[in-house]
Amino acid sequence: MTGMDEKLKEIFQGVRAQEALKERTREFLVQKTHGYTKCQKIKYSHLVWAAICALFLLTGGSWLYFMPTAEISIEINPSISLAVNRFDRVIAVEGLNDDGKKLASSLDIRFSDYMDAISRIIESRDIAGLLSENEILTISVIGPEGKQCSRICGSIASNAAGHKNMYCYFADSDEAKEARKMGLPYGKYKAFLELVELGATISPDEVREMTMRQLRDLIEQLSGETTDLKTRTGGGCGRGGHTGNCWKVQENNNGNTGQEQT
């Protein structure tokens, strides 16, 4: 193969890249790399993306914390609403009427656990005074049906068992929207629906001005259900709706507390 080796070398030596081909390739590379600056652009864009990611992580964390996932509406006469995040922390407190606004501003419950916040509201002088006067307190949990709302409802129901005249409702966001449209807190909205169902001629404005005790008395008067309330017991947090359940917590004849369903 010696002759072949030499011949192949001579042949391949004769095959060369033409200058025109090299020149076209140089032009192609300049064009493709935008004059050999593409790398800087890529690095710049990487920096921009890194900054966006960092910003996203920072804002995303805040967004996760400050995004409300459930609302707890507490109504007696002062009405107050708590926005709760996915970590069960109260991220916003809003008074739903003048008394509620006064109460909200007097309490430092933001960022506390929702159960602690509810306890402090119930134990506040105004609310405790009203409860002792046999006023009715409703606690509505508003949010999507899921683990968190179920857990909040369960906790509130079991804790409310030690208090008199407390109602606990669960409402989904659509029902809450309807209540807001009427300008009523959810507990009063529920009472309004019950009254309408019982044939009462009453406007949302009138309902807004009444206390929960007055509303509950009117419902009981129209439905004659006082007797029933005192004879049935139950537990848990009821699902709201036109014909839905509502759980009442009150002392029974034996002096013990129990939850009753209407």
Partner 1 sequence: MRNEQEVNRAIEQYADTVRRLCMLYLKNHADTEDIFQTVFLKYVLSSVSFENGEHEKAWFIRVTINACKDLLKSFFRTRTVSLDEAVERPDLILPDHREVLEAVLSLPEKYRDVVYLHYFEGYSAPQIGKILGRNVNTVYTRLARSKQMLREKLGDDRYG
CB of 38 or CB of 86, closer to partner 1: 38
- Give the shortest CB-180-to-partner 1 separation in angstroms: 58
- Contact status: 26 vs partner 1 (CB under 8 A): yes
Q: How far is the CB of 32 from partner 1 (least distance, A)?
A: 6
Q: Applying CB under 8 A, which of residues 32, 46, 180, 181 lies at the interface with partner 1?
A: 32
Q: Is 44 in the site for partner 1 (CB under 8 A)?
A: no
Q: Which stretch binds partner 1 (CB under 8 A): 4-12, 112-120, 143-151, 155-163?
A: 4-12
- Site membership for partner 1, residue 47 (CB under 8 A): no
Q: Which of 5, 147, 199, 227 binds partner 1 (CB under 8 A)?
A: 5
Q: Please pick, from the candidates 24, 46, 177, 181, the single residue that binds partner 1 as defined by CB under 8 A.
A: 24
- What one-character-per-residue DSSP string does the chain give? -HHHHHHHHHHHHH----HHHHHHHHHHHHHHTTTTTHHHHHHHHHHHHHHHHHHHHHHHHHHHHHSEEEEEEEESSSEEEEEEETTSBEEEEEESSHHHHHHHHH---TTSBHHHHHHHHHHSHHHHHHHHTT--EEEEEES-SSHHHHHHHHHHHHHHTTSSSEEEEEE-HHHHHHHHHHT--HHHHHHHHHHHHTT----HHHHHHS-HHHHHHHHHHHHT-HHHHHH--B-S-EEPSTT---EEEEE-TTS-EEEEE-
Question: Which spans of this chain sit near partner 1 (rule: CB under 8 A)?
Answer: 1-5, 7-18, 21-22, 24-26, 28-30, 32-33, 36, 38-39, 42
